Amino acid sequence: MKFLPSLPIMDWGKSYDRSNLVNDLVAAVIVTIMLIPQSLAYALLAGLPPEVGLYASVAPLFLYAIFGTSRVLAVGPVAVVSLMTAAAIGEQAVAGSAAYWAFAITLAFMSGAMLLLMGVLRLGFLANFLSHPVISGFISASGLLIAASQLKTLMGVKAEGHNFIDLVSSLIHQIPDTNLLTLSVGVVATAFLFWVRKGLKPLLMRLGMNARAADIVAKTGPVAAIAVTTLLTWAFEWQSQGLKIVGTVPQGLPPLTMPQWDLALWKELAVPALLISVVGFVESVSVGQTLAAKRRQRIEPDQELVALGASNMSAAFTGGFPVTGGFARSVVNFDAGARTPAAGVFTAVGITLASLFLTPALFYLPQATLAATIVVAVLSLVDFDILKKTWAYSKADFSAVLATLLTTLTMGVELGLVVGVGVSLVLYLYRTSRPHIAEVGLVPGTEHFRNVLRHTVHTSPALLSLRVDESLYFANSRALEDQVNDAVASHPQLRHVVLQCSAINDIDASALESLEAIDKRLRDSAIKLHLSEVKGPVMDRLKKTHFLSDLSGQVYLSHFQAIQELTPEILLTK
C-alpha cells in the first residue's frame, strides 16, 4: 500500500482548548529561554555564525508541529548533528565563510530530502541497524570529541586536529599561550553550570520551591551564566584583554536561502547527509518514544521521518543547518507541561522575537561561556558504563561499542558510525551462522522437551529430537547439515529425526535446499525426517514448494504428538 504523509495537526488541533494553550505557552517560554543559548552554541560548534543557530530553530519547529506525531519533541540544532555537520563540510570550505554556510544549507536540504524519501517509502525500520550499544559508543565518543574541541575556546588558543588524539596533542602544545582571563571565565562558567545541574534544584527545594518548578529553574542555568558573563565583559571591557566575544549578531528574520545545485558537491555530501539523517532520526525517535510512553501516547516512526525531513528542508530555505529532536530541550518541554506541538510553534515565535530584538544584547557574550554550555551538555552524553555492562553481558556487543568508540575518536564521526554498524552486522552474521541446536528429550510426567545436557529427560535410541533455536538462512544452513550428519553418525539405531521448529521464524531458499539435502541423505540411510511445531508463516512458504510432498516423514502439530506416534515407548519410561 502506498504511503501518504498525514497531518497529525488535524488530530490534536480539533481538541485544542484554553487549558492546552496555557500549558503550551508556559512550556514555550521556558524552552525558548533554554534554546537561545543552545542554538548560538551549537551553531558555533558547527563552524557557523551564531545567528544561524537561531535561524535553524524557527521554521523547523513550525514544520514539525504540522507533520510530527510527538506532542512534546522540540526540534532544532543538537550537539552530535552539529559536530557531524562540521566534519562533513570542514574540508569543503573554511569555517565561518559564506561558502561554508552555503554548504551547510545544502547539507540540511539533502538530509531533509533523504528523510522525506525514507518516510514516503516507509523505511523507518532501517534505523534498527543502529544497535543501542553502537549508538551509545558513537554518542559517547562524539561527546568527548565535542568537549575536546571546545577546550581551545575555553583556553583562548588556536588548536587544530582532525581526531581526538591530534586535537588533545595540539591543545597540550598551546598551554603556554593560554589566555588566563578567558580560562577563568570558561572554568567558572563550566563549574557553575555543573553545579546548577546537580546542586541548584535541591537548594531551591530546601528554600520551599516545589520539585517541578525547581527543576525548570535549574534547567535555565545557562541563561544566568550568559547574562552575568556578558554584563561583566561589558562593564570591565574584558574583550580588550583578549577575551573573545560573539560580537555583532545580525538582527532580523531568518533569510530566504537556497541550497547549492552543484552535482559534484552533492556527491561529496551524500554519505555524510545520509549518516546525519539516520543518526538524527534515531535520536529523535528514541526521545519521542520515551516521552510519549510516559503519557501513554505513541509516535509513528515513518511519519517522524516525514516530519524531520520537512523540518530540515525548511531549515535549508531559511538559512539553517541540519536539525533533529533534541533530548534536553524535549525533556524540559515535557516537564514544563507542554501538551501539543503548538508549544513548538510558540517557541519558534519566541526565537523569532529574540532574533529581532535581543541580538544586540549578545554583542559582549564571551565565546568561552558558550563553550562552557556545550561542554556541560555533551559530557552528560558520555556513558562509559556501557563498556562495563556489555563486557559482562555480551562480548560481541562490547566489541561493537569499543570499535565505534575508538574509530570515532581516532578517525572521525562518519567512519566511526560506519565501522560500528559494520561490526554489528558482521557479529550478527557470525552469531547466527552458528545457531544453537539442542538435542531434546521428554521431561518425565510432562509434555515438555528440554536440552538433554541440562535436564533429566527421556529419549529413545531410535529417535533423535533436535530443536533449532534460530531462523534458517544461507549463513547457517550448512551448520544444520553438519549437526544432523554428526548426530546420525553417533546414533547407529536411529530411525527417525524430528526437527522441532518452534524457534524458526523463517527459512530462506538456501536453507530449504539444505533441508532437502538432509532429507535425501537420511532417506538413503533408511531414516525418516520429520518436522514439528512449524509456525504458520513458515508453513505457508513451504506449501508453495515440493518439499512437504517429497518429505520422507511427516509434519506434526506438536513435538509431543510426534513422540507419541513414532516412539510411544518413551512415554512408558519411568
Which of 545, 557, 558 has its CA nearest to residue 519? Answer: 545
At position 482, the amino acid (one-letter code) is: D
Dist CA 231 CA 417 (whole Å): 42
| DSSP letter, residue 189 | H
Nearest-10 Cα torsion for 229, 233, 234, 236: 130
Which of 218, 222, 214, 220 has its CA nearest to residue 189? Answer: 222
154 within 8 A of 187, measured Cβ to Cβ? yes
- Correct CATH for 437-572 of 3.10.450.350, 3.40.50.9100, 3.30.465.10, 3.30.750.24: 3.30.750.24
- First-last CA distance in the chain: 57
Match 535446499 to its residue by C-alpha cell: 513
Domain ranges in the chain are 17-425, 437-572
497: part of which helix (H) or strand (E)? strand 496-500
SS3 80: helix
What is the maximum span of the chain, computed from C-alpha positions, in angstroms?
97
Dist CA 203 CA 214 (whole Å): 9
SS (H, E, C) 260-290: CCCHHHHHHHHHHHHHHHHHHHHHHHHHHHH
pTM: 0.79
User: What pLDDT shows up at residue 573?
Assistant: 66
Dist CA 106 CA 265 (whole Å): 9
Q: What is the pLDDT along the chain (574 residues), one digit of tens a residue?
A: 444 556 888 888 888 888 889 889 988 888 888 788 889 989 999 999 999 999 999 999 999 999 999 988 999 999 889 999 999 998 889 888 999 999 999 999 999 999 999 999 988 777 677 778 888 888 889 889 988 989 999 999 988 877 888 889 999 999 999 999 999 999 999 999 999 888 888 888 888 888 877 877 777 778 889 899 999 999 999 999 999 999 888 888 999 999 999 999 999 999 999 999 988 998 888 888 888 888 888 888 899 999 999 999 999 999 999 999 988 788 878 877 888 999 999 999 999 999 999 888 889 999 999 999 889 888 888 888 889 999 999 888 899 899 999 999 998 887 888 888 888 888 888 888 888 999 999 999 899 999 999 999 999 999 999 999 999 999 998 889 998 998 888 888 999 999 999 999 999 999 999 999 999 999 999 999 999 999 999 999 999 999 999 999 999 999 999 999 999 988 876 5
User: What pLDDT shows up at residue 1?
Assistant: 43
SS3 157: coil
